[in-house]
């Protein structure tokens, strides 16, 4: 089913730095070398109180956002999580001196500014996770797209930028996804939407920010690109040619982490500029969390989205179910319009959510596909009267941002970030089997193909322990 297995070949594709941070921060002349015995006090950072309210969202909506404990200079063990990072001993690993200095100074400033001690753990946890991930990337010799080293300054700045965007667009001046079909905000060049004064007012000082590239820039350093793989490139190139011919392509995928859109972008960029553009053009079928969770909102602003409530969450609140159902209907009509235009590419997880680890075995099975979801997309494709093709997209990205072990209906979950390789497998085009009477055969074939690609990826990445 696969050909042209690829380990990253050196080119990183497009890159643009993230925009300015909403929070206040300053850097002095830099960090001293490891050989320097002087006290490391070269970084000064100042946080506005507003930035701390990011943590409040987690405290308010989910107890799981708060870990029971976290060492100030060590990483929580991954012994139950990843064979993919077995070559790096991350159990209680101390940060290198420069990363430790940046982390400690940031944490010190946070603690001094906290309006309540309850906010310390969730924000510290996210900070520690990201700093450890990028310190491991630096130790691994990973580079930025411009060939420069990954540094502690970069890690802290990226985190402050992400938190700043989260404060502004997730809390302070909350960005509302008014359309069920959201188009990525990538800056004013060539986009007439930016002529609208209302959008300019919403974005403010971030008017020129490319939120797509900002999201990629945040997660790219935490991905071990050199060890990552893309299987089924011939199938992917076939899909691209169909899109270029004005036909539609739907990728039926398993879903493993919040960073899956960035996973697709980083790996597609590694193949070619043209394939990388396909990643940017993809429309993602998204649930309510990615448009309401404060930390997720800025990343979602940079993606083409179809905002749909999944079956797993639509029944959580009976009072809002009618409104959610109406929104889903509106989203389907909008998608149908896009399919009728042709040349549309869609990413959807028919399971309705992320794959979850089996806490007893440590294995990570793919969540079952929902047949009705698959049927709905086939129906929309048929109604469009434009040829619509279906491919499975198997994804291995669990270790990058491991989700909670159990489904949570609210927003504000604990954020994990790990340095790890990732993988994508594109299966052969799914044949049009089953007909009207045996529609389940098509859905079963799609899931079977996705399962096989997933197993192939785990073997290729040396993560056989995750195979169910």
Catalytic residues: 173
DSSP letters for 84-124? TTTTS--TTPBPPHHHHHHHHHHHHHHHHH-SSGGGHHHHH
Residues 6 or more apart from 202 whose CB is under 8 A from it? 173, 175
Cα atoms found within 13 Å of the Cα of residue 81, Cβ hemisphere only = 22
**Do residues 43 and 156 lie in contact, with contact meaning Cβ atoms separated by under 8 Å?**
yes
Side-chain half-sphere exposure of 248, counting CA atoms within 13 A = 24
Helix (H) or strand (E) holding 374: helix 371-384
368 contacts 447 by C-beta, under 8 angstroms: yes
Q: Which two tokens stand for residue 188?
A: 């004013």
Alpha-carbon distance values, 81 to 76, 398, 466 (Å): 11, 9, 9
Evaluate whether 50 touches 57 at the Cβ level (below 8 Å).
no
| 306: β partners | 181, 285
What residues contact 195, with CB distance under 8 A and at least 6 apart?
none
The one-character DSSP state at 369 is: P
Cβ neighbours of 301 (radius 10 Å): 25
Contacts of 413 (CB under 8 A, 6+ apart): 58, 62, 64, 65, 293, 403, 404
User: Quick check: 310 and 285 in contact, CB under 8 A?
Assistant: no
Beta pairing, strands 248-253 & 304-307: unpaired
What's the CA gap between 226 and 219, in Å, rounded? 15
């Amino acid at each position: 089913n696969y050909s042209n297995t690829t380990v990253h070949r050196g080119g990183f594709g497009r890159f643009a730095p993230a925009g300015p941070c909403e929070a206040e921060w300053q850097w002095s002349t830099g960090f001293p070398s490891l050989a320097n015995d002087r006290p490391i006090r070269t970084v000064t950072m100042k946080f506005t109180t507003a930035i701390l309210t990011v943590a409040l969202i987690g405290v308010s909506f989910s107890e799981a956002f708060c870990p029971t404990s976290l060492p100030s200079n060590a990483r929580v063990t991954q012994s139950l999580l990843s064979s993919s990072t077995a070559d790096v001993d991350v159990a209680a690993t101390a940060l290198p001196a420069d990363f430790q200095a940046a982390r400690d100074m940031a944490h010190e400033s946070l603690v001094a500014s906290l309006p309540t001690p309850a906010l310390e753990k969730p924000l510290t946890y996210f900070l520690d996770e990201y700093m450890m991930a990028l310190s491991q990337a630096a130790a691994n010799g990973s580079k930025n797209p411009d060939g420069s080293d990954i540094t502690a300054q970069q890690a802290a700045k990226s985190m402050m930028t992400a938190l700043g965007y989260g404060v502004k667009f997730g809390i302070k001046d909350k960005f509302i996804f008014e359309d069920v079909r959201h188009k990525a905000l990538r800056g004013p060049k060539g986009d007439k939407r930016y002529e609208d004064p209302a959008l300019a007012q919403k974005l403010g000082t971030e008017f020129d920010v490319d939120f797509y590239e900002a999201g990629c820039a945040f997660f790219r350093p935490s991905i071990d690109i050199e060890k990552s793989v893309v299987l089924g490139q011939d199938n992917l190139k076939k899909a691209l040619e169909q899109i270029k011919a004005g036909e539609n392509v739907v990728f039926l995928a398993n879903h493993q982490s919040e960073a899956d859109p960035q996973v697709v972008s980083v790996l597609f960029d590694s193949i070619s500029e043209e394939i990388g553009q396909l990643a940017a053009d993809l429309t993602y079928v998204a649930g309510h969390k990615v448009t309401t969770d404060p930390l997720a909102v800025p990343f979602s602003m940079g993606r083409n989205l179809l905002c749909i409530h999944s079956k797993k969450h639509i029944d959580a609140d009976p009072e809002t179910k009618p409104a959610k159902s109406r929104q889903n209907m509106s989203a389907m009509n909008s998608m149908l319009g896009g399919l009728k235009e042709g040349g549309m590419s869609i990413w959807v997880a028919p399971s309705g959510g992320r794959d979850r680890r089996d806490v007893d075995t440590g294995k990570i099975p793919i969540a079952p596909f929902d047949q009705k979801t698959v049927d709905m997309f086939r129906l929309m494709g048929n109604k469009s009267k434009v040829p619509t093709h279906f491919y499975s997209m198997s994804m291995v990205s669990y270790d990058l941002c491991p989700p909670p072990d159990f489904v949570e209906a609210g927003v504000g979950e604990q954020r994990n970030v790990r340095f790890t390789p990732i993988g994508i497998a594109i299966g052969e085009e799914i044949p049009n089997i089953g007909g009207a009477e045996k529609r389940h055969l098509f859905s079963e074939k799609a899931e079977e193909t996705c399962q096989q690609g997933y197993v192939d990826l785990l073997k290729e990445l040396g993560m056989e322990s995750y195979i169910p």
